[in-house]
Amino acid sequence: MIAMAALQGFDSLMSGDTVVAQNIAFGILAVVMIVAALRMVTTGNVVHAALYLVIVLAGVAGIFILLGAEFVGVTQVLVYIGAIVVLFLFGIMLTRGALGEDEEADTEKRRMAVLVGVLVLVVTGGAVLDSFGDAAVNRAAPSLTAEIGDTIFSQYIVPFEAVSVLLLAALIGAIVVARKD
C-alpha cells in the first residue's frame, strides 16, 4: 500500500513544475511534523510538549497554504498557535506540579493514551476516506481571502451575524464557568 502511494506521488511529480515544488515542500513539512509530533509525545517536559505542538500546527498551516487555502492556513496560525497553545501554556502555568520534568505522567496512562490515539486516527481517517475517497484536490485555483469575504458578505451575512451571538454566548459561558464566586 505504501509502495502504491509512493508511485501515485511519483506520477504527479512528473506532471508540472509547481506540482514538483509542492511535493518537495510537502515532503519537508511532513518530515518536520512527524519528528515534532514524536518528540511531543515522548518529551518529559509538558512545556516542551506544548512548544513541539506549535511546530506540528505550523506544519498544518503550511500544508493548507500549499493546497491554496490561505485563509484556513492563516487562521490555523492565528487561532491555534496564537491562542490555543497560549491557553495550554497558561493552563500548565496555573497547574501545580505539572511543570518541568515529570516522570509520573509518562508511565501510568501510556496504554490508555495509545488506545485513544489509535481510535482518533481510525475515526478521523475513516471519516475522511469515506467522504472524499480518491477525489482529486482542485489544484487549478487557490481560494483567496477576498473571495471568502465576498461569500460572507453576500450569501452568508445572517450566519455571520449569528456567529457573533455564538461567540458572545461562549464568552459569557466561559466567564461564568471560570469565575470562582
Judged by the rule CB under 8 A, the positions of this chain that interact with other proteins are: 17-18, 21-22, 65-66, 68, 70-71, 74-75, 78-79, 82-84, 86-87, 90-91, 93-96, 99-100, 139-142, 144-146, 148-150, 152-153, 157, 160-161, 163-165, 167-168, 170-172, 174-175, 178-180
- Using the minimum distance from each CB to other proteins, give the nearer residue, 41 or 148: 148
Q: Which residues are bridge partners to 69 per DSSP?
A: 143
The minimum distance between CB 111 and other proteins, in angstroms, equals 29
Smallest distance, other proteins to C-beta of residue 11, A: 18
**141 Rama class: left (phi>0) / alpha (psi -120 to 50) / beta:** beta
In whole angstroms, the minimum distance from the beta carbon of 170 to other proteins comes to 6
**Residue closest to 64 by CA, chosen among 37, 26, 11, 13:** 26
Grid cell in block for residue 22: 509542492
> Considering beta carbons, is residue 116 or 170 the nearer one to other proteins?
170
3-state SS string over 68-112? Answer: CEHHHHHHHHHHHHHHHHHHHHHHHHHCCCCCCECCHHHHCCHHH
Cβ nearer to other proteins, comparing 108 with 161: 161
Question: Looking at beta carbons only, is 8 or 138 nearer to other proteins?
Answer: 138
**DSSP code at position 144:** P
Q: How far is the CB of 25 from other proteins (least distance, A)?
A: 8
Shorter beta-carbon distance to other proteins: residue 5 or 140: 140
In whole angstroms, what separates CA 18 from the centre of its chain?
A: 24
Is residue 53 within 8 Å of residue 88, measured between CB atoms? yes
